[in-house]
Amino acid sequence: MAPNAELRNRKKAALAGDKAANADAAADEATRPRVDSVKNLKGHEVVIENTIYDLTDFKHPGGDSVLLFGGNDVTVQYKMIHPYHTTKHLEKMRAVGKINDGDVQRDYVFDTPFEREIKREVFKIVRRGREFGTWGYFARAFTYIGIMAALQYLWVTVGPSWTLALFLGMSQASIGLNVQHDANHGAASKKPWVNDLLGFGADFIGGSKWLWMEQHWTHHAYTNHASKDPDSFSAEPMMAFNDYPLDHPNRKLWHRAQGFLFPPLLSFYW
């Protein structure tokens, strides 16, 4: 045997053993259930009821707008927009881990008797399969769009006037409160491209479809929450929509007259 051959063989064996150990450790790491924090979520991941889901290959029936909420715990938003929720819905997405129990914050308790009663009463009015826009909705939507297009044409060809500005503002409000609102809730049609097309009515009147969805969906998830509903504090300090204590610093002197200030200030909304 060559000099030091036995030593070299021992080193090779030790190196092979280290590689095998590392490979085993990597395999264990790959198969070990992932437990993580919300702040470490990737842009294509969401949390629903403590479970992390990967949306990369998920074909969402409502289109790609669901990716707008990537990187967040969307339990409340999910429950809000899926009144017929069952576990079968979640099985369509790939679960990749769990969230630390200490990282979970609960704002609501779901499936309470009150919630079930509310759903029963709503379902009496909005029947299953009739949640989307009717022919009447689309007739109104295209009427509002046509009126605004005609007014815009007059504004350019005839020239601006106070009367034209008044009617143009009313037509913009009609699109904002009806056309883009329902479409960006995914309620105009089962077809995502229809909702996307009509949803860009927000941009047509000077807003932004994507910013509106971020803010308004959050508003519906935390309606009138003093710190989580952006609509409850976005008008401050001009107006206050929260019932703050009388000595709260967010209360201003002019808020006493905001009932009179509301109409002219609202004209700056869009």
**HEC states along the chain?**
CCCCHHHHHHHHHHHHHHHHHHHHHHHHHHHCCCEECHHHCCCCEEEECCEEEECCCCCCCCCHHHHHHCCEECHHHHHHHCCCCCHHHHCCCEEEEEECHHHCCCCCCCCCHHHHHHHHHHHHHCCCCCCCCCHHHHHHHHHHHHHHHHHHHHHHHCCCCHHHHHHHHHHHHHHHHHHHHHHHCCCCCCCHHHHHHHHCHHHHCCCCHHHHHHHHHHHHHCCCCCCCCHHHHCCCCCCCCCCCCCCCCCCCHHHHHHHHHHHHHHCCCC
Q: Report the pLDDT value the prediction gives residue 32, as an integer from 0 to 100.
A: 60
| Residue 169 CB-half CA count within 13 A | 13
Q: Report the pLDDT value the prediction gives residue 13, as an integer from 0 to 100.
A: 54
Q: Report the pLDDT value the prediction gives residue 269, as an integer from 0 to 100.
A: 60
Per-residue pLDDT of the chain (270 residues; tens, 9 = 90+): 455 555 555 555 555 555 554 554 444 444 567 667 778 888 888 888 888 898 888 888 778 888 888 888 888 888 888 877 777 888 888 888 888 766 666 778 888 899 889 888 988 888 777 788 889 999 999 999 999 999 999 999 999 999 999 899 889 989 998 899 999 998 899 899 999 999 999 998 888 999 999 889 889 888 888 888 888 888 888 888 888 888 888 899 998 888 888 878 777 665
Q: Report the pLDDT value the prediction gives residue 199, as an integer from 0 to 100.
A: 93
Q: Report the pLDDT value the prediction gives residue 79, as an integer from 0 to 100.
A: 85
Q: Report the pLDDT value the prediction gives residue 231, as an integer from 0 to 100.
A: 85
Structure confidence by residue, pLDDT tens digits, 136-147: 999 999 999 999
